[in-house]
Amino acid sequence: MNLTLKVWRQLNAKEAGKVETYNVKDISPDSSFLEMLDILNEQLINSDIEPVAFDHDCREGICGMCSLYINGEAHGPDRKVTTCQLHMRMFKDGDTITIEPFRSAGFPVVKDLVVDRSAFDRIQQAGGYVSVNTSGNTQDANAIPIPKADADKAFDAATCIGCGACVATCKNGSAMLFVSAKVSQFSLLPQGQVEKDRRVLNMVDQMDSEGFGNCTNTGACEVECPKGISLDNIARMNRDFLSASILSKDK
Amino acid sequence: MSNSGIGKTSIGRKVVMALSGLFLLVFLLQHLIINFLSVINPDAFNAASQFMGTNPFVQFLAQPILIAGVLVHFAMGVILTIKNKKARPVAYVVDNQAANSSWVSRNMIITGIMIFLFLVIHMGQFWIHEISLKFFGEQSWDKVGFVKGTEDFRYWAELHKTMGDPINASLYTLAFIFLGLHLAHGFASTFQSVGFRDKKYTPGLEKFGKAYSVLVPLLFIVIAWFHVITE
């Protein structure tokens, strides 16, 4: 496959970026999108051009490190896959592919296609955990019976890899899907009940202070999420937040 | 929590949007029922108009709440849109939003502004007239519904004259198409925003919302053109 790539190049967060056009030849349809970018970078290095910076790690869809806004969609045109799982057979020979970073006030560009997603870490640190007494008498988590339906929902929420595709695709740059998944995975379980109110209040507060936008229920996040995190989580977080704001002693 | 108040949080703003929207959905139904009386029974329409226009509860409690509801819903919509634009300072070069969301859900501010502009015209045509007669006119409240110097109600005749103009009816038709588009997303969205989402009830609620967003504006349009045809 021969392709024309329009790639966003940006030196750092302060400099303005622009689109550069590159051509790549003889790309196998069986190669992954990131392998195609590796080939591009080898070509650029051989021509004494600075290679394109992009995030990646496990390359098997579980670490949440890869990103990229490909032809106007987070993680590209395929569904329920991350960019590293996207294959070149999704494109046609002769295609022009536009590659941009995830764009949000909460995700400043580090370089080229790499963005700083540490806002998600700060939201998680604000309450996305269950405090455990480690004095030596920690209870086995499995000692508490959990209804299968709740365990399944909590597990589904916990499959969120924190890649930020929800923010990237949302026209409002809202982080509600990510935050609601991280709230739900604990608030559905008995171990998460004690800190339930404090968790949702603190995580939403942190989310708001990171510069993410407001959810308007377009549902784009759910469609583009590589893990298929459901809008049910956002509704649950809205409920939990409302009741905690009105009734909780932690408010 | 840094205790800035629920109204200043992102979810708090969503809830304000949803509750004011839900209130306006209910109001719309009441408005439709009274308007529909003008088609089936002019006397009943006159009686309902007289009641709504002179009942102190409606005039001094419900009416201010309604005006506040419209203004809060509109102002919050504008505030949210400005904040949401700021959340993405650099726009995408290529953004294929149609791949994952509906046009109506992405353009609530456009349909909303069109409805608000229509409301300005609508208030100018009917509401200002009523208020000036009631509060600045010579007639007492029990006589304000009559054509001056007679015992005949003026409500139906005035509505018939205004709506009978095809240009006016066309303007109303256009406005109600925008309203339908707004409701196509807005109805179900209100429930999601307040956290009501359920495997069993939500699909039915969404279908009901779609039906509401088609039927209610359509009936308003039918009423408008009824007055054009019978003029």
Q: Domain of A36?
A: 3-111
Residue B1, pLDDT score: 40
The string of pLDDT tens digits covering residues A66-98 is 999 999 999 999 999 999 999 999 999 999 999
- The answer to whether residues A160 and A240 belong to one domain is yes
Mutate to test the interface with B, among A217, A239, A246 (most CBs of B within 10 A): A217
Residue A165's Cβ-count burial label (10 Å; 0-12, 13-18, 19+) is: buried
Question: Coil, helix or strand for A104?
Answer: strand
The CATH number given to whatever domain includes residue A47 is: 3.10.20.30
Of B6, B87, B102, the CB nearest to A212: B87
For residues A8 and A71, give the distance between their C-alpha atoms in angstroms, rounded to a whole number: 12
Are residues A109 and A55 in contact, defined by beta-carbon separation less than 8 angstroms? no
Please check whether residue A238 is in contact with residue B194, taking contact to mean a CB–CB distance below 8 angstroms.
Answer: yes
B135 pLDDT band, cuts 50/70/90, is: confident
Q: How many other C-beta atoms lie within 10 A of the C-beta of residue A213? A: 26
**Considering chain B, what is the average pLDDT of its residues?**
94
Contact criterion met (CB below 8 Å) for B170 and A209: no
Check pLDDT > 60 for residue B2: no
Distance of residue B190 Cα from the nearest chain A Cα, in angstroms: 9
Per-residue pLDDT tens digits for B22-51: 999 999 999 999 999 999 999 999 999 999
Tell me which of B17, B73, B88, B105 to substitute to probe the interface with A (most A C-beta atoms closer than 10 Å): B88
If asked whether residues A90 and A128 sit together in one domain, one would say no
User: In sequence order, what DSSP letters do the residues of A113-167 get, joined into one string?
Assistant: TEE--HHHHHHHHTT-S-----SS-PPPGGGS---HHHHHHHHHHHT-----HHH
Number of A to B CB contacts under 8 A, please give it: 146
Do A107 and A187 belong together in one domain?
A: no
pLDDT, position A138:
78
Indicate whether B3 pLDDT > 90: no
One-letter amino acid of B79 = I
Contacts (Cβ under 8 Å, ≥6 apart) of A27: A1, A2, A3, A36, A39, A88
Taking CA–CA distances from B196, the nearest residue in chain A reads A235
CATH number at residue A124: 1.10.1060.10
Question: Look-up: residue for tokens 């296609």?
Answer: A113
Structural domains in chain A (count): 2
A102 and A158 co-located in one domain: no
Residue of B nearest to A201 (CA): B1
Which residue from A163, A169, A165, A171 is spatially nearest to A214, judged by alpha carbons?
A: A171
- Nearest Cα neighbor of B126 from B72, B166, B172 is B172
Distance CA A19, CA B25 (A): 46
Same domain, A129 and A99: no
A34-47 pLDDT, tens digit each: 999 999 999 999 99
Q: Do A128 and A232 belong to one domain? A: yes
**What pLDDT does A142 receive?**
86
DSSP string of B87-138? T-SS--SS--GGGTS-HHHH-HHHHHHHHHHHHHHHIIIIIHHHHHHHHHSS
**Distance between A10 CA and the closest CA of chain B, angstroms:** 12
Residue-level pLDDT at A103: 97
Angle separating helix axes A118-125 and A176-187, nearest 10 degrees:
30
How does pLDDT run across B178-189, given as a tens digit for each residue? 999 999 999 999
Among A100, A178, A218, A230, most B C-beta atoms within 10 A, so best to mutate, is A218
Residues A125 and A239 occupy one common structural domain: yes
Give B29: exposed, middle or buried? Use CB within 10 Å, 0-12, 13-18, 19+. exposed
Least confidently predicted of A7-11, A65-69, A141-145, B186-190 = A141-145
- Whether A33 and A102 map to the same domain: the answer is yes
> Quick check: B120 contacting A, CB < 8 Å?
no
- A157, A126: one domain: yes
* Cα angle for residues B175, B182, A229 (degrees, 5° grid): 170
Confirm or reject contact between B109 and chain A (CB < 8 A).
no
Average pLDDT over residues A165-190: 97
SS3 A99: strand
Joined together, the tokens standing for residue A132 give 């455990």
Beta-sheet strands, E only, within chain B: none
- Over residues B195-217, the pLDDT tens digits come to 999 999 999 999 999 999 999 99
A7 exposure class (CB count in 10 Å sphere: 0-12, 13-18, 19+): buried
The whole-angstrom separation of Cα B70 and Cα A231 is 28
In a shared domain, residues A102 and A126: no
Q: Single out the residue of A50, A43, A167, A37 nearest to residue A99, CA to CA.
A: A37
Q: Is the pLDDT of residue B70 over 60?
A: yes
Tell me if A234 and B91 make a contact (CB, 8 A cut-off): no
Tokens matching residue B76: 């919050």
- Type of residue numbered A216: T
Whether A164 and A123 share a structural domain:
yes
Examine the domain organization and report whether A125 and A30 are in the same domain.
no
| Domains defined for chain B, CATH in brackets | 9-86+107-230 (1.20.1300.10)
B10: nearest CA in chain A? A214
H helices then E strands: how many in chain A?
A: 8, 7
- Name the average pLDDT for chain A: 96
pLDDT (tens digit, 9 = 90+) per residue, A144-164? 999 999 999 999 999 999 999
